[in-house]
């Protein structure tokens, strides 16, 4: 029986957008939008925030959420969650990025079910979505990947190495979304390994999996939603929040508190 726990790693010292997880959207901090949507999905046994910051700890507890404190020395969310999950009973872990306030609960159910139904020896999964505009291939604020015909992610990058026509390239190039899953044992293993070369150069955590020749499986979504990596991306997220589907979840999020 697979038991999946969701973790949201968070800290205040974001380089490109300091304190972005606390950025208020419709009366709630961004991280609380993410946490509540994860709770709404019902896809996970627990939803836990992993943080080193008192302010985030206090905020989440105020809203009835669960927090596990971590060291303040982590350089990425993967190692932060690895510390937090060590004493949590589960078989699988799903990392949700705290800057994805538009997460759809049904997408989290789909991702969770993809892990549960995977009877292969896969140890890690990442949600991916389609690239919709040629300019996105060289947009450095989010990560892209090359996915082969068996849905294995072979390479991740920020600026495209593709030379061919856009309509041909996007058959295999997809946007890496902020939903990544591991078996608990594999997360602890990969987090204890040294940083990989391209991971360090490009600041892409998934490359540690790929460079060490483990399988990272793409869970293919048929859509993408904007996240907030930089201040200039806020307006796009606010615009999407005005559509009918997002307004429905926004109303539900406002009444959710405890996991």
Residuewise pLDDT in 10s, the chain (259 residues): 899 999 999 999 887 788 999 999 999 999 999 999 999 999 999 999 999 999 999 999 999 999 999 999 998 999 999 999 999 999 999 999 999 999 999 999 999 999 999 999 999 999 999 998 899 888 888 899 999 999 999 999 999 888 889 988 889 999 999 999 999 999 999 999 999 999 999 999 999 999 999 999 999 999 999 888 888 889 999 999 999 999 999 999 988 765 5
pLDDT tens, residue by residue, 85-142: 999 999 999 999 999 999 999 999 999 999 999 999 999 999 999 998 899 888 888 8
Rounded Cα distance between 101 and 31, Å, is 7
Alpha helices in the chain (DSSP H): 30-41, 54-62, 77-85, 105-117, 166-169, 184-191, 197-202, 207-211, 234-240, 244-253
Q: Which residue has tokens 């068996």?
A: 150
- Note the pTM of the prediction, 2 decimals: 0.93
List CB contacts of 243: < 8 A, sequence separation 6 or more.
none
> In sequence order, which residues have a C-beta less than 8 Å from that of residue 185 and are 6 or more positions away?
none
Q: Among residues 258, 257, 253, 259, which one has the least CA distance to residue 104?
A: 253
| Residue given tokens 């009835």 in the structure block | 64
> For the chain, what percent of residues have pLDDT higher than 90?
81
């Amino acid at each position: 029986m697979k038991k999946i726990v969701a973790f949201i790693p968070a800290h205040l010292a974001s380089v490109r957008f300091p304190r972005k997880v606390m950025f208020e959207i419709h009366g709630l901090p961004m991280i609380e939008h993410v946490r509540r949507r994860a709770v709404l999905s019902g896809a996970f046994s627990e939803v836990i925030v992993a943080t080193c910051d008192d302010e985030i700890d206090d905020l989440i507890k105020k809203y009835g959420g669960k927090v596990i404190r971590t060291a303040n020395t982590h350089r990425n969310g993967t190692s932060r969650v690895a510390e937090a999950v060590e004493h949590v009973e589960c078989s699988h872990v799903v990392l949700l990025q705290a800057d994805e306030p538009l997460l759809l609960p049904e997408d989290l159910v789909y991702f969770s079910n993809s892990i549960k139904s995977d009877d292969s020896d896969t140890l890690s999964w990442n949600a991916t979505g389609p690239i919709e505009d040629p300019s996105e291939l060289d947009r450095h604020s989010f990560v892209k990947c090359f996915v082969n015909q068996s849905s294995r992610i072979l390479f991740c990058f920020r600026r495209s190495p593709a030379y061919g026509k856009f309509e041909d390239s996007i058959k295999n190039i997809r946007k890496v979304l902020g939903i990544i899953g591991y078996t608990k044992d594999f997360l602890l293993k990969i987090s204890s390994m040294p940083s990989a070369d391209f991971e360090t150069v490009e600041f892409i955590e998934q490359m540690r999996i790929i460079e060490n020749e483990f399988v990272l499986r793409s869970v293919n979504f048929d859509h993408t939603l904007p996240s907030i990596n930089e201040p200039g991306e806020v307006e796009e997220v606010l615009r999407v929040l005005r559509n009918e589907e997002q307004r429905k979840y926004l109303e539900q999020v406002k009444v959710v508190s405890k996991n």
